[in-house]
Structure 1
Amino acid sequence: MGRAEENVEGSNGLEQLSLFITQRADLLRYISIIAADAMLAEDIVQEAWVRFNAAAATQTIHEPRRFLFRIARNLALDDRRRRGLEEKLFTGDNEKALFVASDAPSVERSVEAASELVLIRAALAKLPDRTRQAFLLHRVEGLTLVEIGARLGVSKSVAHELVTDAVEHCRAICRRGT
């Protein structure tokens, strides 16, 4: 085992630099195979050196050559995965395109919701005033049945009946679609 392959610990960086210089050509050949691009391999090897040097400054590295090659390999594989994903996302080939789900409702669901809202408004317009008020206080303003009862001057159980009647009426209208 040569000096560059010994443990790297507590040094002033000369051991790391010596290892990098002696292994650079092998590292470039190895990464060029993974990256399939000489310029990209050069960038990856440089990034591997930066990361290796930073790690060696803060920890003991028992197998520095292996560690350096592992860093470079991981960087090359990460880059290959990233490029593959970008290719899928940004190519004109719709069969290979990656579609990301949206939180926004579909056009069909938006039309259905608008249609349903029209039906509910029509259903509410047909309700007696106190029933409509109880429903709106509960569903729109978020009041409890006790609060609705106090506001309308009725008991909690009557407020419950009014809200339930309104909900059932709206459901029936929506089911019929009229």
Structure 2
Amino acid sequence: MMLKRRDSFLKESYQRYRDELYRYLRRMVNGRSQEAKDITQMAFTRLAALTDPQTLRNPRAFLYTTARNIVIDRARRRQVKAKHMEEVPLESWHEPGHGISPEHIALDRERLAVLKTVIENLPAKPRRIFVLNRVYGLSYREIAEEMGLKEENVKKHVFRALKKCTTEMAKIYKNSAPSTPTDEMPKSSK
């Protein structure tokens, strides 16, 4: 029953907002049709990835915010890539030290799997808030409005989840532990 409701919600949202979101994105990406299609699909994929997307008060706002954040992230990546392309001469790319070793990739994958497990073990509400903020890029305010919470409570949930992730990762990787966050609440709007 719950699965049918979820599927119905996703199908209805896709039919209702897809074309509108695509047109908005096409304007945002200067008419690049394929990029607008890709980002539209990514936004809906992120909606579908939510545990209970049908509980969103405003799925349209979620889709637009998610899509806008994807556009911004892509632009940032292009800038970083362009900067690094200028800094590293093309002829040196094949030299040792300019690539990522298989060991480094394996270690990163292992750490990501551990982090994923830590996040999955968070209680449902803090996990959802943390994922909306850190994975989907929603601001504290946007999450507060979406979930009917005070912005300050959203900040606390994100901070506690970050602290838990950092602590758990430090227990596992004592030699290469990330720095732990301070006991001070974050001041940014994200």
Global fold match (TM > 0.5): no
Larger radius of gyration, structure 1 or 2? 1
When the two structures are superposed, what TM-score results if normalisation uses the length of structure 2? 0.40
TM-score, normalized by length of structure 1? 0.42
